[in-house]
């Protein structure tokens, strides 16, 4: 679909709106296809038309074997929906941060959102039966996601407070403080790793590489709405992020209330990333690669880039999860390995092709 985008790129006058609309439609179709395919794959494989029929019949139908209905409705559908929502949230968070920092390399990991979430989660894993037991035990299986979410919000709030003076947020300070806070969180996380036993280490490793295993409707209803709200609200930022491309002063000259827009963007990113880390651990690469691909292939206008990132990010993560479930079956690979393994080479190929180094 990326190639399709290139072919229809821009009318002769440089207005790429038509190409962008076509790309969005293609991406939406792609997401649907990938989702149906992903619901079908697994230990008991189902054909795409069977999946569609089972979905159309609704949960608890007696027109199909109960086992098939349960697999689709109770196991795979919530997992695929969670994957789609997380993929969309991470890609939108990446595109938003890149716009905010005016830097195509910005990533949720950089502003301390992910490291903060990771630190809180690792603390729960290692200290959950020790000093943190009174806090962790009553929360049961929700202790880890809640800790990750709170960690993300706290670190974002801290950074925002550091970088804001007299009602103005310095994006440069935010970035630098994020790197410092990330390193500090990393150091403490490392210390917890040093303290942990083998079982805890395995938990931590799986969690830091991310995974959608164990997704239930309950977990989806707990984490999904925050991410969905962030994704659906993101188009509000599009004009502002476009104007910010020229610089903060220039965005103000163009009529933008810059500070209000920055605050909204940061809250949106913290919510999206915090909830995603809470739901599935740290899944790298989606936030940086998806907006890049769309900019390279179609265009950088955020009115296109934000919804486009949501659709492509969702499709990519659902696909990655389907692969994670199948390539080493019956074992399951961490999804972060898959996203990096399929994303990075494709990305490099695109970069090389664009620079003409491959002669194509």
Partner 1 sequence: MLELDAVEVLAGERRILGPVSFGLPAGGVIAIVGPNGAGKSTLLKVLAGETRPMEGEVRFQGEDMAAFSASRLARRRAVLSQSLEVAFPFTVFEVVSLGFDGAPRALTAGQKAARIEAMLERVDLAGFGSRNIQTLSGGERQRAHLARVLCQIGEAVDEEGPKLLLLDEPVSSLDIRHQVDTLRMARDFAREGGLVVVVLHDLNLAASFADRMILMRNGRIAEDCDPVALLNGQTVDEVFAIAMTRIDRGPGRPPVVMPHAV
Q: Which residues bind partner 1 (CB under 8 A)?
A: 10-17, 99, 102-104, 239, 242-247, 249-258, 295, 299-301
Q: Closest approach of Cβ 305 to partner 1, in Å?
A: 9
Please identify, using beta-carbon distances, which residue of 164 and 326 lies nearer to partner 1: 164
Q: Closest approach of Cβ 249 to partner 1, in Å?
A: 6
For residues 314 and 35, give the distance between their C-alpha atoms in angstroms, rounded to a whole number. 9
| Number of other CB atoms surrounding residue 45 within 10 Å | 9
Instruction: For residue 128, give Cα distances in angstroms to 121, 136, 182.
Output: 10, 6, 23
Q: Closest approach of Cβ 45 to partner 1, in Å?
A: 42
Please identify, using beta-carbon distances, which residue of 262 and 295 lies nearer to partner 1: 295
Please identify, using beta-carbon distances, which residue of 20 and 321 lies nearer to partner 1: 20
Q: Closest approach of Cβ 235 to partner 1, in Å?
A: 14
Q: Pinpoint the alpha helices (H) of the chain.
A: 2-7, 17-40, 48-57, 66-70, 77-101, 113-127, 133-136, 143-163, 171-195, 198-209, 217-233, 238-244, 248-253, 258-280, 286-297, 302-326, 335-354
Q: Closest approach of Cβ 8 to partner 1, in Å?
A: 13
β-strand partners of 14? none
Instruction: Copy the structure tokens of residue 349.
Output: 């190929």
Please identify, using beta-carbon distances, which residue of 18 and 329 lies nearer to partner 1: 18
Please identify, using beta-carbon distances, which residue of 240 and 334 lies nearer to partner 1: 240
Whether the CB-CB separation of 182 and 110 falls below 8 Å is answered with yes
Please identify, using beta-carbon distances, which residue of 14 and 214 lies nearer to partner 1: 14
Please identify, using beta-carbon distances, which residue of 74 and 103 lies nearer to partner 1: 103
- Give the helix/strand (H/E) hosting 165: strand 164-165
Q: Closest approach of Cβ 244 to partner 1, in Å?
A: 8
Whether the CB-CB separation of 205 and 278 falls below 8 Å is answered with no
Q: Closest approach of Cβ 320 to partner 1, in Å?
A: 26
Q: What three-state secondary structure class fits 169? A: strand
Q: Closest approach of Cβ 134 to partner 1, in Å?
A: 48
DSSP secondary structure of 22-48: HHHHHHHHHHHHHHHHHHH-SSS---H
Instruction: Copy the structure tokens of residue 74.
Output: 């109770």
Please identify, using beta-carbon distances, which residue of 101 and 192 lies nearer to partner 1: 101
């Amino acid at each position: 679909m990326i190639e399709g985008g290139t072919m229809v790129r821009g009318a002769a006058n440089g207005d790429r709106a038509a190409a962008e609309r076509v790309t969005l439609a293609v991406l939406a179709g792609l997401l649907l296809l990938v989702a149906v395919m992903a619901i079908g794959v697994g230990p008991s494989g189902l054909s795409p038309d069977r999946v569609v029929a089972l979905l159309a019949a609704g949960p608890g139908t007696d027109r199909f074997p109960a086992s098939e209905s349960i697999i689709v409705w109770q196991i795979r559908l919530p997992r695929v929906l969670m994957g789609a929502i997380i993929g969309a949230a991470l890609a939108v968070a990446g595109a938003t941060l890149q716009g905010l920092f005016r830097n195509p390399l910005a990533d949720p990991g950089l502003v301390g959102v992910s490291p903060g979430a990771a630190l809180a989660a690792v603390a729960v894993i290692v200290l959950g039966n020790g000093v943190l037991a009174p806090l962790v035990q009553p929360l049961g299986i929700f202790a880890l996601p809640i800790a990750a979410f709170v960690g993300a919000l706290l670190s974002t709030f801290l950074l925002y407070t550091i970088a804001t003076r007299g009602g103005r947020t310095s994006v440069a300070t935010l970035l630098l403080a994020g790197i410092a806070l990330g390193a500090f969180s990393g150091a403490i996380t490392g210390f917890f790793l040093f303290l942990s036993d083998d079982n805890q280490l395995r938990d931590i490793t799986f969690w830091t590489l991310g995974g959608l295993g164990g997704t239930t409707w309950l977990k989806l209803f707990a984490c999904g709405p925050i991410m969905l709200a962030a994704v659906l609200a993101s188009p509000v930022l599009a004009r502002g992020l476009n104007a910010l491309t020229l610089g903060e002063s220039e965005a103000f000259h163009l009529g933008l209330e810059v500070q209000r827009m920055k605050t909204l963007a940061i809250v949106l990113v913290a919510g999206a990333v915090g909830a995603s880390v809470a739901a599935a651990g740290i899944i790298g690469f989606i936030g940086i690669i998806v907006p890049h691909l769309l900019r390279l292939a179609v265009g950088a206008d955020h009115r296109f880039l934000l919804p486009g990132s949501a659709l492509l990010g969702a499709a990519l993560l659902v696909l990655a999860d389907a692969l994670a479930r199948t390539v080493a079956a019956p074992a399951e690979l961490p999804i972060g390995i898959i996203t990096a393994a399929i994303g990075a080479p494709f990305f490099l190929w695109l970069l090389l092709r664009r620079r003409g180094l491959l002669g194509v």
